[in-house]
Amino acid sequence: MRLSFLASTIWLSTLTTSQFFLTHATSALAQTHPAKEMTNTAASAYPPFIMAPAEATPVMVTVELIAEDPQVLEAHLTSAGVIPTTRLASGNNYSWTVRDADNPNRFVLVQQWNSQLQQEGYIAWRIERGDLAELRSLLAQDPIVNYLTPVDLGTLPAQAN
């Protein structure tokens, strides 16, 4: 089963399958990078280092979030442990948080990663820490996640090429 399907399933569920995803994500990451053992990072405040496969294609990820209370969600996302930490993750080129001008409860996270594997490893780390369950508690509905592959690689930041 593709890891991207599992990542989307987790985002769209109530996170009851978090342990299943984590087991499969860790297994897939270890198979992709046999020299790099996955370690238990549940207590870590920083994302684990994950190398991008040599043949990796950069990926853009959008995550649509509908807040129960937009001020609470904004404070959560901009706290030191959320978006600023995402920007420290290996393979993350940028992470922007934007808010819909016409619907203040709607936020969209716009991210670019060197590989989908790195993004999925990052999500596995967030699940293991319980961060996604905490995020879901602030939302009116499940997040909508989209993985987008660039058509014109020449327009990407240098580190993603």
Domains in the chain: boundaries: 3-34+56-151
The CATH code belonging to domain 3-34+56-151 is 3.30.70.100
Which tokens in the block code for residue 130? 């319980």
Q: Which 3 state secondary structure label does DSSP give 92?
A: strand
Amino acid 159: pLDDT = 56
Nearest Cα residue to 63 out of 43, 82, 79: 82
Amino acid 152: pLDDT = 78
Q: How far apart are CA 2 and CA 25, in angstroms?
A: 10
> Please, what is the average pLDDT of the chain?
78
Structural element, H or E, at residue 9: helix 3-12
Asked if 76 and 138 count as a contact pair (C-beta separation under 8 A), the reply is: yes
Q: How far apart are CA 82 and CA 91, in angstroms?
A: 16
The per-residue pLDDT for range 69-126, each reduced to its tens digit, is: 999 999 999 998 899 999 999 999 999 999 999 999 999 999 999 999 999 999 999 9
pTM: 0.70
Q: Answer yes or no: is pLDDT of 139 > 70.
A: yes
Q: How far apart are CA 87 and CA 153, in angstroms?
A: 21
